[in-house]
Structure 1
Amino acid sequence: MSSTGLRSVHVVVPADIDDVAVPSGGNAYDRRVCLGLSATGCSVHEVAVAGGWPRPDTAARASLARTLSALPDGAVVLLDGLVACGVPDVVVPQARRLTLVVLVHLPLGDEVGAAPSAAAALAALERETLRAASAVVATSPWAARRLAAEHGLDPDRIHVATPGVDHAPLAPGTDGVSRLLCVGSVTPTKGQDLLVEALAAVADLPWSCDLVGPLRRDPAQVAAVRRTIERHGLGDRVRLTGPRTGTRLATSYAEADLLVLPSRVESYGMVVTEALARGIPVLAAAVGGVPETLGHDPDGAVPGILVPPDDVPALAAALRHWFGGPAPRDRLRRAARARRGTLDGWEVTSRCLAGVLEQLPGTPG
């Protein structure tokens, strides 16, 4: 038996969980909690299901149905919401015999780029799935509030297990000001198009910027960002690097003077804590859970700059402020380094999630 009392859990995740070509915060979270739950002594049975989630084809639906049907009665099943929330016709019937817990990284209807009718349809599917689950786990307090309000869920059924972070050496940066870093899949949700427009507005300043992240999730958006870079003549200053993981990503952080997160929607913002773990200040859109994630140091100082979302002039003004002189930058850097010491590791996330699972009806506690 595990130290938490939870003997066994089946974890259903997307098949691309370890695909280095398309890394994502959701996949990183899933991988780390699988490892963390195993470290508590719980027996973790990981099931990776292929499909175009959350809109799978018939074959993927049938595969997920077979997977769930094969699990023993009463089994505790943790499902990634990307897999579960779009297919209530597959998931809900299994709630009668399985203890289903759905992990929501970002509400399905909040992804930017979908037509309003498609977003509403996904939200309706998600609502049906979440109402049938024994419990729901959100990755931020903001996401928990959003799910309760959007779907009329009892807040007591929604639990929060925020992502952890790996502590890392302090980033030396480049020259303390000019190297900008943006990390995330190039999609409308992540807002790299907004950042390029803001950079064009401050082209007189001596910056360079790496846009690090997968280029396969939304080829049309990648093409649009490339065109914007070319239109403003920024090809030698803005680099679309593609995905980076491991030591290559660590090197990108080590060289960064400022992390920029221009997202239109963000449930938590794992790259914020990844930057803060290295003492790197953050410039971010004040959207979703980002302000809570950025937080403040023990003295109340905020380790970054928050701007309104989807606001190019505000983003440009914040960049100009960053370059305005050493005193503001030094204050932000000191706050980031102090905030670094307050961040929780992934073991805290795993213990929190294990605590949720062991309190479910029918599980040992």
Structure 2
Amino acid sequence: MDVRFLVPANIHHNSGGNVYNAKLADAMRAQGVDVEILAVDGSWPDSTAKERRRLGSLVGAWEQKTAIEAATISIVDGLVACGVPDEIEYAAAAGQHVFVLLHMPSISHADGEQRALRAAAGVICTSSWAADAIKDRYGIVSSRVALPGTDAAPVAAGSDPPHIVAVAALLPNKDQLLTVAALAGLQDIAWTASLVGADDADPGYAALVRTAIASQGMEGRVRLTGQLAGQTLENEWNRADLSLLVSRAETFGLVVTESLAHGIPVIVREGTGAVEALGLASKGNGKPGSEATALPGTAVELPGPDTSHPAMLAAVIRRWLAEPGLRSSWRAAALAARDRLPQWDATARNVIEYLKRIR
């Protein structure tokens, strides 16, 4: 089986979608699948007619599939797919096997997304949250959920005073302004924090975050690191005692399982897919007969899309800082979770089985 994996070329920061795509491709290759990744130009989900025509050519929209091509499957990232419903419909009519890998359901291109998902040979969702969303929105009930895997990682040593990390690109959806506002109400307690993520994905929002930190006099306590990788990122994880992911919308939240792989508990926003990631390891990874264990962190109800409710987040962090017993129980649950996290080879087997069955 040969797979052509079409991903957006316009996402340059270290997003969860980019990580998932790369890790999945590597794990499929390790299991004998020939995977070609092609980054397709376009301001996806928006694009020019030329860019859409190129995408159409890549998925074989204009020609009937030949016997030689019969073993080739295309997987199109959902960010691209919702912008090219015509091309995916043409490819389906030509007998091509085009699958859509859906990370986050689209708000701005819902009509195009619905057409693309309905025309596709199959839909792979990276979380149950995403699968439920397209079922509710479009009535699509036959998608396959392929949860992200997790790379093994060393246990974080932690810091004194406690160190808090929020690993995500500086973007409005990730709501670092809420995090900064919450931390501003905790300056009577000892802690440090790092906001780890690309600061050039939305320079205007990054500037607002910097201004908010400075206006609260927290430059010495809250550090913006920019995007980190390799040992530099590992050093930041090693310092951490608590991880935050309070995105307004999140399909799964790879950073949650990455945190748990380091034995670091996590606070997430209630109502997002990050709740699934947090609860995954506390349920024995869904294995029959496994018993539920303590949650390695908590999900916080944070109403509203703005930053007008920092006190609710601050109250949870304050309790964690002030109660050694709570810190110990969350830490123990995070350490216990490390051995139950899903692996990328299982993700790849899941996807390969689905592709073979549907084809």
Task: Provide the residue aligned with 1:4 in structure 2.
Answer: none
The question of whether the paired residues in 1 share the 8 Å contact of 2:295 and 2:330 is answered with yes
Preserved contact between residue 143 and residue 288 of structure 1 (Cα < 8 Å): no
- Taking structure 1 as the reference length, the TM-score comes to 0.88
* 8 Å CA contact 1:263, 1:309 repeated in 2: no
1:325 shift after superposition: 2.2
What corresponds to 2:163 in structure 1? 179
Contact 2:7 2:77 (8 Å CA) reproduced: yes
Separation of aligned partners in 2, 1:339 and 1:264? 25
| Separation (CA, whole Å) in 1 of partners of 2:64 and 2:175 | 43
Describe the SS at the equivalent of 1:284. Answer: strand
| Match of residue 6, structure 2, among 3, 8, 12 | 12
Report the 3-state secondary structure (helix = DSSP H, G, I; strand = E; otherwise coil) of the residue aligned with 1:333.
helix
Question: 1:116 is matched with which residue?
Answer: none
1:320 partnered with 2:318: yes
1:267-306 mapped onto 2 (5 Å cutoff): 267-295=251-279, 296=282, 298=291, 300-306=293-299
Displacement after TM superposition at 1:171 (Å): 0.6
Once residues 41 and 205 of structure 1 are traced to their aligned partners in structure 2, the CA distance between those partners, rounded to angstroms, is 53
Displacement after TM superposition at 1:309 (Å): 3.0
Q: Is 1:348 the counterpart of 2:346 in the alignment?
A: yes
| CA shift for structure 1 position 128 | 1.2
* Pair 1:87 & 2:84 matched: yes
| Cα distance in structure 1, aligned partners of 2:158 and 2:277 | 22
Say which SS state the counterpart of residue 234 (structure 1) adopts: coil
Corresponding letter in the other structure for 1:125: G
State which drifts further: 206-215 or 216-225.
Answer: 216-225
Alignment of 1:134-283 (within 5 A): 134-153=121-140, 155=141, 157-175=142-160, 178-283=162-267
Shift of 1:221: 1.4
In the alignment, the residues of structure 2 paired with residue 25 and residue 333 of structure 1 have an alpha-carbon distance, to the nearest angstrom, of 24
Is the contact between residue 267 and residue 290 of structure 1 (CA under 8 Å) also seen in structure 2?
A: yes
Distance (Å, rounded) in 2 between the aligned partners of 1:345 and 1:136 = 21
Unaligned runs of 5+ in 1: 1-6, 110-118
User: What is the SS of the residue equivalent to 1:359?
Assistant: helix
Per-residue deviation at 1:284? 1.4
With 219-228 and 55-64 compared, the bigger mean Cα shift is at: 55-64
Q: How does 1:91-110 map to 2 (within 5 A)?
A: 91-96=88-93, 97-109=95-107
In structure 2, stretches of 5+ residues that fail to align are 284-290, 304-308
Q: Following TM superposition, by how much is the alpha carbon of 1:207 offset from its aligned partner in structure 2, in angstroms?
A: 1.6
1:133 paired to 2:130: no
Question: Which residue does 1:114 correspond to in 2?
Answer: none
SS at match of 1:77: strand
What is the distance in 2 between the residues matched to 1:249 and 1:166?
14
Q: Could you tell me which amino acid in structure 1 is paired with residue 328 of structure 2?
A: D
Does residue 1:51 correspond to 2:42, yes or no? yes
CA shift, 1:16, in A, is 5.7
**In the aligned structure 1, how far is the partner of 2:63 from the partner of 2:337?**
43
SS in 1 for 2:76: strand
Q: Which moved more, 1:195-204 or 1:42-51?
A: 42-51
Task: Assess, with a 3 A threshold, how the Cα gap between structure 1 residues 71 and 46 changes in structure 2: closer, same or farther.
Answer: farther
Instruction: Give the RMSD, CA atoms, in angstroms.
Output: 1.7
Change (3 A) 1:72 1:333: farther
Q: Tell me the residue number matched to 1:335.
A: 333
CA distance in 1, matches of 2:122, 2:163: 43
Q: Secondary structure at the match of 2:322?
A: coil
TM-score by length of 2: 0.90
* CA separation of 1:299 and 1:159: change in aligned 2, threshold 3 A: closer
Matches of 1:172 and 1:290, distance apart in 2 = 24
Task: State the alpha-carbon separation in 2 of the partners of residues 234 and 57 from structure 1.
Answer: 44
* Aligned 1:7-46 pairs, distance under 5 A: 7-15=1-9, 22-46=13-37
SS in 2 for 1:173: coil
Q: Which runs of 4+ in 1 moved over 4 A?
A: none
Quote the offset at 1:66 in angstroms: 2.9
Question: Deviation at 1:30?
Answer: 0.5
1:85 CA displacement: 1.3
What residue is the counterpart of 2:300 in the other structure?
307
Structure 1 position 68, deviation (Å): 2.5
1:32 maps to a residue whose letter is K
| Aligned mates of 2:63, 2:106 — CA distance in 1 | 26
Distance in 1 (CA, whole Å) between partners of 2:144 and 2:232 is: 34
Deviation, 1:72, is: 7.2
